[in-house]
């Protein structure tokens, strides 16, 4: 197998589909029982494409969490920043 540096760069810059990120959050919550907002940020920070800046990453995560709440996949038991 030939080592192709373009493939590594492609993987770093490729965005996954939304379902991938939603599944990551749900899996982490099911394994840990709960998740704080900081944990969600940490989980997704290195999964999002490298070309997305910090502000865009925050916006992306801000859109994912409410989607899970609206679908009753997660529940917010304390503050808005801490989905459980």
Q: ∠75-59-15 over CA atoms, to 5°?
A: 100
21 confidence band (pLDDT: 50, 70, 90): very high
- The percent of residues in the chain predicted with pLDDT above 90, rounded, is 42
Q: pLDDT at position 46, please?
A: 84
Residue 1 forms part of a structural domain: no
What's the token pair of residue 80? 């808005």
Count of structural domains within the chain: 1
Contact by Cβ (8 Å): 9, 54: no
The domain in which residue 28 lies consists of 16-84
Residue 2 forms part of a structural domain: no
Q: pLDDT at position 31, please?
A: 94
Q: pLDDT at position 50, please?
A: 84
Residue 3 forms part of a structural domain: no
Residue 36: phi, psi to the nearest 5? -85, 160
pTM of the model: 0.72
Q: pLDDT at position 13, please?
A: 61
């Amino acid at each position: 197998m030939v080592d192709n540096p373009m493939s590594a760069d492609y993987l770093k810059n490729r965005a996954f589909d939304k379902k991938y990120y939603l599944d990551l959050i749900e899996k982490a919550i099911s394994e840990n029982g709960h998740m704080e907002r900081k944990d969600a940020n940490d989980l997704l920070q290195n999964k999002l494409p490298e070309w997305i800046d910090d502000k865009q990453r925050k916006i992306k995560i801000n859109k994912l969490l409410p989607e899970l709440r609206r679908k009753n996949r997660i529940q917010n038991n304390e503050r808005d920043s801490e989905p459980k």
